[in-house]
Amino acid sequence: MRFFKTATAIAVAMSMASGAYAQDGSINVLGHKVHQTAATGLTAGTTGGDVTAEWQAENGSINWITADVNPLHDRLFRELTLPVGNVDMAFFLNRFASPRAFELLEPLDGYQAENPIEDFDGLSQGMLDGMTYDGKVYGIPFRHSTTALVYNETLLQQAGFDGPPKSFDELIDMAKKLYHVDANGQKVYGLTQVGNSPEFLLAMMLASGKPFLEADFTLNADTPEYIATLNTLKDLSDNGGLVDNYVANNLDGLISDMQNGRAVMSLSPFNRESVLNDEKLSLFPGSFKVTAVPPMANGELPVQTEVWYLVIPKNAPNKELAWELIRTLSSPEATVREALNGNGATRPAAYEDPRIIEKIASAAEQARSVASARLALPGFEEIARAQTILGEEADAVLLGYQTAEEAAAKTQALIEPLLPKKQ
Amino acid sequence: MRRLNLFHLVLLTPAQTLVTLMLAAPAFYVFWLSLTTSSYGLNPQFVGLDNYINVLSDKHFWTASWNTFLIVNVVVYIELVLAFGMAVLVASLKKGRMLIFALILVPYAISEVVGVLAWRFLADPNIGLVTQAFAAFGITFNWTRNVADALTLICTISIWQHLPFTFVIIYAAVISVPRDLYEAARVDGANGWQQTWNITIPLIVPAATLAIVFRYIFAFRMFSEVWLVTKGGPVRLTEVLGTYLYRTGFTFADFGGAAATGWLMVLGALLLSVFYLRSMYRKSFSDE
C-alpha cells in the first residue's frame, strides 16, 4: 500500500511538473547537435557566445532534443503526424522538403507580416526559395553546409606538394599520388569521404559538368558524365586515392581519418576545419586548412550545399514563442555570432563583418563558394529511396560487382519512376 | 480436468485483457496497415495485397531472408555447441565455478549498442585490433568491402552477445542430470565420451530445444548487430529482415510495406521453429 501511495505521489508530482513546464515559456527544439553549439556557443574556442541567452531570460528555457540527420527527421515526421506535437520549433534540412512535408509545417508569412524578422531581405533569397511552396515561406534559412576542400598542410608538404590542387582534375591526380604507407606502417590515403550518404558522389558528378538531378527533376544518371564519374570513383578507390573503407565510412570515421593522418584531404563543409584542428583530439592541430573546391576546366566552382531551415510544426503547442525564437536566431547580429560559433551564415552580408573577417580565415572563400553553390539534390517524396539506390549501384561498381555503364543504366531505370512528374 | 467457471474467468480477465491490448490489438493493427499505403502525413488507403506483392518481388527482401536464415542457423547451432562445451567444463570445475560463470555472463550485462560498437572498432579495417591480429597471420579482413567478412563479423558479434543466454539454460540442464546415472555408467565401464553421449546429451535435449526455439525467435529479429556495423552493406548484401523492415518503415517512410514485412517475418519465424515447437508440444503433453 505504501508503495502505491508513493508511486501515486510521484505520478501526481510529475504531471504537475510537466504542466508547469508547458506554462513557463519553455519550448522544445528538435535539431542536430551542431545547431545547439552554433546557437549557444558550446564549442571551446568559439567567440559568438550564447545567442539564445537573452531570449531565455525573457521567455524560459530551451529544451534541446538533438539527433543525427536521419533520426532527427524520422522523429520530426513522427511528431508532425500527431494530433498535438511536442516539438515547438525544429531544424529541417532542405533535402527532406516535399509537398507532403509542407502540409505538416506552419506557413510563416503571417508571423513575418505581424512581427517581422529584422532585415528579412538580407537573408539569402536563393535559400529562402528552397522552402517556399505555393507562394508561402515554410522555413527560415539558419545554416548552410557548403562543400570546401579541407586538407592537412603538413602531410601535403611532406608529400612534396606546395599547396592544394588548383583544378578538380588535379585534385583527383593528387589524391592518388598522396597514397603511401608511413613510417609507422599506417596507410595514408589521398581522400576520405563519407560513403553512407551520396554527397561525395554528387560532388564528383557536379565536377564532371552536370548535376546528377536538376532542379526540374531531369535525371542525368544514364549519361557519359555519370559513367565517367563512377569510373573516376573506382579509379580513386583502386589506387589509394580514397580510403579503402569508403563504402561504410561515416562522419565519425571521416573525422578520425583526418585527425589521425590516415587521409590528407576531404571534400567537407567549411566549418569542419575547427574540429579537425582541435588540440585535444587531433594529431595535427593547426595543420588543417580549408579552401574552395578547386574549379572545373571551365573555371566554375563545382560547389554544392545543403541548407538547414528553422520551421514550426503545424501541430506545435507554442507557435508564437517558436516564432520569437526564430526571430532571435535569424537576426543579422545573431547570424554573425552563430558564424563565429562555427555556423554557415545564411546572410551574405555576414561575411563582410569585421569580426568574421578577423576570426574566420576562410571567410572570403566561403562567401565565394556560397555565391556559386547549388543544392546537392532537390527535395521530393521518395528521396530516401533514391539515395539508397544511388549509393548501392555506385558501391557495386566500386567493389567490382558491375561496370559503370551497367550501374548508370540501372540507376536511371530505378530512380526515374520515383521522381515527381514534370509539369 | 475441472471446467472453467465464472470465477476462474474473472480471475483470468486481467491477464487476457493485457495480452489482447499489448499483443493481439497491435498485431491486428499492423495487419490492417499492411493492406494500406501509409506514410507521414498520408491517410492510409486500402490497397489489398499490393504491399505483400511488392515486398515479395523485391530482390532485397530475398537477400535479407537468405541472410537471416543463414545467420540464424549459424549462430544458434554454434552457440549451442559452445554453450554445451562450456557448461560441461564449468560443471566439472571443483573451484572458481562462480567466477567463471560470472565472466561468461559479462557480454549479457553490457549494453547491446556499446558491445556492437566496440566490435566495430575492434574490426576496423585500418586500425582494429582484430584486423591487425589477422594481418599478422597474413589474413586480410575487411568487412566494409567483403560480404563474407561482414557476415562473419555479424555472426561473431551475435554469438558473443547471446552465448550467455544459451549457456545458462544448458548449464542448468547439465547440473540437474542425476549424479547416480554417471556412477552407474562408470560401474558399467563407460568412458567420459560414452557418458556424455548416452547420458548428458539425451537428458538435456528438452532444455536445448527450449534454448533453440528462443534463440531462433530472438535471432530472427536481429537488428543492432547489422545496423550498427554494416547498415546492411556493402550493396545491401548483408541486409537481414530486421534491417529491411526498419529501412522500409523509417528510412523510406513506407509503413504499409514495413507492416507487410513484419507479418512475413512472423510467418518465417514460425516456419523455422515449427519443428521444435511441435517437438516441445508433444513432450509437454506426452502424459495425456
Q: Answer with the residue of higher pLDDT: A196 or A387.
A: A387
Structural domain span for residue A204: 146-304
Cell 562522419 sits at which residue? A251
Q: How far is B139 from chain A (nearest CA, A)?
A: 16
Task: Kindly state whether residues A169 and A294 are assigned to the same domain.
Answer: yes
Question: A69, A72, A74, A252: which to substitute to probe chain B, counting the most B Cβ within 10 Å?
Answer: A74
How many whole angstroms separate alpha carbon B29 and alpha carbon B269? 20
Asked whether the beta carbons of residue B144 and residue A262 sit closer than 8 angstroms, the reply is no
pLDDT of residue A13: 43
| DSSP codes, A36-53 | HHHHHT-STT--S--TTH
Cα–Cα dist B128/B120, whole Å: 8
pLDDT band at A423 (very low <50, low <70, confident <90, very high): low
Instruction: Look at B143 and A248 and tell me if their CB atoms are within 8 Å.
Output: yes
The string of pLDDT tens digits covering residues B4-47 is: 888 989 999 999 999 889 989 999 999 999 999 988 877 889 99
Say whether pLDDT at A279 is over 90: no
Contact present, B74 and B154 (Cβ < 8 Å) = no
Work out the minimum CA distance from A355 to partner chain B, whole angstroms.
41
For residues A298 and A312, state if they share a domain.
no
In degrees and rounded to multiples of 5, residue A63 shows phi and psi of -95, 100
Contacts of B164 (CB under 8 A, 6+ apart): B104, B105, B106, B107, B108
Let me know: does B152 contact B226? Beta carbons within 8 Å.
Answer: no
Q: Indicate if A257 and A118 belong to the same structural domain.
A: no
Report CA A66 to chain centroid distance, whole Å.
Answer: 14
Residues A394-420 have pLDDT tens digits of 999 999 999 999 999 999 999 999 998
Cell (9 digits) for B255: 509503413
Give the residues across from A265 on adjacent strands: A151, A191
Query: How distant is the Cα of B3 from the closest Cα of chain A, in angstroms?
Result: 34
Cα(A381)–Cα(A417) distance, integer angstroms: 12
Q: Would you call the peptide bond into A317 cis, given omega within 30 degrees of 0 as the criterion?
A: no
What are the cell numbers at A257?
Answer: 581519418
d(CA B30, CA A352): 56
Least confident interval from A2-11, A299-308, B145-154, B172-181? A2-11
Are the C-beta atoms of B76 and B212 separated by less than 8 Å?
Answer: yes
Rg (alpha carbons) of chain A, rounded to whole number: 23
DSSP string, A173-218: HHHHHT-EE-TTS-EEEEE----SSTHHHHHHHHHTTS-SB-TT--
Whether residues A217 and A153 share a domain: the answer is yes
Pick the CATH number of B50-176+205-285 from 1.10.599.10, 3.40.50.10540, 3.50.50.60, 1.10.3720.10: 1.10.3720.10
- Minimum CA–CA partner of A262 in chain B: B126
Q: For A164-215, how does the pLDDT look when each residue is reduced to its tens digit (9 = 90+)? A: 999 999 999 999 999 999 998 889 999 999 987 788 999 999 998 889 999 8
Cα angle B114-B115-B121, degrees, rounded to a multiple of 5: 90
Among A72, A234, A395, most B C-beta atoms within 10 A, so best to mutate, is A395
Contact with chain B for residue A90, Cβ under 8 A: no
Statement to judge: residues A157 and A188 lie in one domain:
yes
Q: How many angstroms away from the CA of A391 is the closest CA of chain B? A: 8
CB A102 within 8 Å of CB A138? yes
pLDDT tens over chain B, length 288 residues: 567 888 989 999 999 999 889 989 999 999 999 999 988 877 889 999 999 999 999 999 999 999 999 999 999 999 999 999 999 999 988 888 889 989 999 999 999 999 999 999 999 988 899 999 999 999 999 999 999 999 999 999 999 999 999 999 999 999 999 999 999 999 999 998 899 999 999 999 999 998 998 998 889 889 999 999 999 989 999 999 999 999 999 889 899 999 999 999 999 888 877 887 787 777 766 654
Alpha-carbon span B104 to A12, nearest angstrom: 43
Partner A, chain B 40-59, Cβ-Cβ below 8 Å: 40-42
Same domain, residue pair A300 and A317: no
Mark which residues 134-153 of B lie under 8 Å from A by CB.
Answer: 142-145
Please check whether residue A196 touches B, CB under 8 A: yes
Q: Does B252 touch chain A (CB under 8 A)?
A: yes
Domain with residue A204: its CATH number is 3.40.190.10
Query: Rounded to an integer, what distance in angstroms lies between the CA atom of residue A365 and that of residue B149?
Result: 43
- What pLDDT is stored for residue A372 in this prediction? 80
**Quick one: pLDDT at residue B286?**
61
**Which of helix, strand or coil describes residue B206?**
helix
Query: Distance, in angstroms, between B142 CA and closest chain A CA?
Result: 8
A-chain residues near B144 (CB < 8 A): 244-249
Do A53 and A150 share a domain, yes or no?
A: no
Q: Which of B145, B231, B236 faces A244 most closely, judged by CB atoms? A: B145
Res B287: pLDDT: 55
Task: Check residue B194 and give its pLDDT.
Answer: 92
Q: Smallest Cα–Cα separation from A197: which of A304, A319, A311?
A: A304
Residue A248 touches chain B, beta carbons under 8 Å: yes
Cα(B79)–Cα(B7) distance, rounded to whole angstroms?
45
Residues 170-209 of B with CB under 8 A from A: none
Size of interface A-B (CB pairs under 8 A): 72
How many Å lie between the alpha carbon of B122 and the closest alpha carbon of chain A?
A: 14
Distance in Å, alpha carbon of B92 to nearest chain A alpha carbon: 44
pLDDT digits (tens, 9 = 90+) for A16-61: 344 334 446 789 999 999 899 999 987 767 788 999 999 999 999 9
Give the pLDDT score at A3.
43
Which of B33, B144, B248 is the mutation pick for testing A, counting most A CBs within 10 A? B144
Q: For residue A78, give how far its alpha carbon lies from the nearest alpha carbon of chain B (Å).
A: 7
Three-state SS at A290: strand
Residues 6+ apart with CB under 8 A from A20: none
Write the residue in A100, A196, A399 that is nearest to B41 by C-beta.
A100
Report pLDDT for B41: 76
Half-sphere exposure of A62 (CA within 13 A, CB side): 28
The conformational region for residue A214 under phi > 0 = left, psi -120 to 50 = alpha, else beta, is beta
Q: What is the mean pLDDT of chain A?
A: 89
Q: Measuring CA to CA, how many Å separate A202 from each of A139, A205, B157?
A: 25, 5, 34
State the Cα–Cα distance between residues A247 and A395, nearest whole angstrom: 6
- Domain count within chain A: 2
The reported pLDDT for the residue numbered A292 is: 92
B142, B144, B252 member nearest A385 (Cβ): B252
Q: What is the pTM of this model?
A: 0.85
Would you say A345 and A351 are in contact if contact means Cβ atoms under 8 Å apart? yes
> What is the pairing mode between strands A62-66 and A288-292?
unpaired
Does A151 lie in the same domain as A127?
Answer: no
Q: How far is CA B88 from CA A285, B92, B163, B199, in A?
A: 55, 6, 15, 12
Do residues A188 and A239 both lie within one domain?
Answer: yes
Locate A112 and state its grid cell.
Answer: 513575418
pLDDT of the residue at A126 = 81
What chain A residue is nearest to B150 in terms of C-alpha separation? A248
Has residue A204 been placed in a domain? yes
Give me the percent of chain B exceeding a pLDDT of 90.
Answer: 73
Q: Is B40 within 8 Å of A104 when comparing Cβ atoms?
A: yes
| Count of CB atoms situated within 10 Å of the CB of A20 | 10
Pairwise pLDDT comparison (A91 vs B217), residue with the higher score: A91
Q: If you average pLDDT over residues A308-331, what whole number do you get? A: 96
Task: Tell whether A136 and A150 lie within a shared domain.
Answer: no
- State the pLDDT at residue A22: 41
The whole-angstrom separation of Cα A185 and Cα B201 is 50
The runs of H, that is alpha helices, within A296-352 are 319-329, 332-340
- Chain B partners within 8 Å of A384 (Cβ): 251-253
Task: Write the DSSP assignment of A96-124 as a string of letters.
Answer: G--HHHHHTB---HHHHHHSPPTTGGGS-
**Is residue A397 in a domain?**
no
Q: In the listed set A304, A331, A359, which residue is the last one of a domain according to the structure?
A: A304
Pick the residue from chain B with its C-alpha nearest to A401: B235
Contact A245 B125 (CB under 8 A): yes
Residue B77: name the closest of B215, B199, B190, B226 by CA: B215
- A396 contacts in chain B (CB < 8 Å): 235
Judged by CB atoms closer than 8 Å, whether chains meet at B126 and A382 is answered as no
For the stretch A297-300, contacts whose Cβ atoms lie closer than 8 Å and that sit 24 or more positions apart, written own/partner, are A297/A167, A297/A168, A297/A169, A298/A209, A300/A372
Q: Are residues A238 and A174 in the same domain?
A: yes
Q: Smallest Cβ distance to B42: which of A100, A186, A395?
A: A100
Residues A255 and A333 in one domain: no
Which residues lie across from A147 on neighbouring strands? Answer: A269
Domain boundary (A304, A337, A365) is at A304
DSSP string, A207-218: HTTS-SB-TT--
